[in-house]
Amino acid sequence: MLKIGNITLEVPFFQAPLSGYSDYAMRTIAREFGAPLVFAGVMLAKSVVHPKVFNKPAFQPGDDEHPIGAQLLGENAEIMAKAAKVVQKAGFDLIDLNFACPAPKVVRRKRGGFLLNQPDKAIEIYKAVKESVDCPVTIKLRTSFDSKSYDNFWKLCSGVVAEKVDALTVHPRSVCQRFAGLADWQFLSEVKKQFPSTIIFGSGDLFSADTINNNIKKTGVDGALIARGAIGNPWIFSQLRKGDVFLPPTLEQQGRVILKHFSLVCKLYEHEKAVRYFRKFASAYCKLHPMRKNAQKATLAAKTVEEFQAAIQQWYGNEKP
């Protein structure tokens, strides 16, 4: 059992915020496979305070998906605090602040990972948000802006730990590194050593249950956020829950999950869009197929809901070619 503020979780691994992916459909599948907490993709605070923008399906929490986290991005403490109130009112149970995003358009606007250059500003944002809501507030950050110095990282963490942050998630790469190189999980041991009483989660290069278990054990962190490793592979959650006795899904089981995920997507989006939007998920799911390239080709060629369903039936059903 793990507690993040007033939220109790049975197991310490969750589905990470994933812009463009972690909508209601993906979150539902992740929960069904055992993720005890899921996150919507990052939301721009400035847009959240604008009711029309906030209506996007990706950002709406369903009644059946508690606990669910929202993640906010912004550089203005007052707007971030207002946005936090809006998302809590909308039904989110936890608010995470993004001080990690390396996207150039975000960094240029002094948001996300840029705030690793401005620890005082980041701490001010955290305090404003914490005061404005009565749910847990957590922070996701990288280890530095450009790997030249880690001073700002320690300053930022010490500042929010002093203000009783509910948890810190660290993706151990620099902002400038984006996704290059390997995540430096050794750094996570140091973070946990420095802040033994704070809940620390790790994120980065988590593609298998073994890696996740080993990294948690080796570093002493409290848990992990699963990001790319959960796209097209919700079985990662059941494998983590079941441990050694996990049996990989059969093709029929994979096909059923793909069709279920797709049908949830079809409820969220107009059908032509749903087929286009689902291609990236289908492509990821197909990685588990023994004839991956052919399965990908067939599913990506589908232009309508019926064609997509037929392709899955053909490659995952009983009448495989």
Ligand X SMILES: Cc1cc2nc3c(=O)[nH]c(=O)nc-3n(C[C@H](O)[C@H](O)[C@H](O)COP(=O)(O)O)c2cc1C
Q: Please check whether residue 30 is in contact with residue 67, taking contact to mean a CB–CB distance below 8 angstroms.
A: no
User: Which x/- pattern, by CB under 6 A, does the window 125-164 give for ligand X?
Assistant: ---------------x------------------------
Size of the site for ligand X (CB under 6 A): 20
* Residue 61 DSSP label: P
The yes or no reply on residue 28 touching ligand X (CB under 6 A) is no
The yes or no reply on residue 41 touching ligand X (CB under 6 A) is yes
The yes or no reply on residue 20 touching ligand X (CB under 6 A) is yes
- Distance in Å, CB of 204 to ligand X, minimum: 4
- Of 15-23, 114-122, 149-157, 251-259, the window that binds ligand X (rule: CB under 6 A) is 15-23
Sorted by sequence, the CB contacts under 8 Å of residue 226 that are 6+ apart come out as: 13, 14, 15, 16, 35, 206, 212, 236, 237
Residue selected from 15, 28, 71, 239 as contacting ligand X according to rule CB under 6 A: 71
Q: What are phi and psi of 3, to 5 degrees?
A: -115, 130
Q: Which one, of 233, 227, 185, 192, lies nearest residue 14 by Cα? A: 227
Residues 201-260 contacting ligand X, CB under 6 A: 203-206, 227-229
246 to 67, 86, 210, 249, 288: CA distances (angstroms): 26, 40, 12, 9, 15
Q: Which residues of 265-282 are buried (b: 16+ CB within 10 A; e: fewer)?
A: bbebbeeeebbebbeebb
- Of 12-20, 45-53, 249-257, 262-270, the window that binds ligand X (rule: CB under 6 A) is 12-20
- Distance in Å, CB of 43 to ligand X, minimum: 8
Pick the closer one to ligand X by CB: 228 or 256. 228
Q: Which two tokens stand for residue 175?
A: 């902002």
C-alpha to C-alpha distance for 259 and 268, rounded to whole angstroms: 14
- Distance in Å, CB of 79 to ligand X, minimum: 18
- Of 81-89, 189-197, 198-206, 310-318, the window that binds ligand X (rule: CB under 6 A) is 198-206
Chain positions contacting ligand X, by CB under 6 A: 16-21, 41-42, 71, 98, 100, 140, 171, 203-206, 227-229
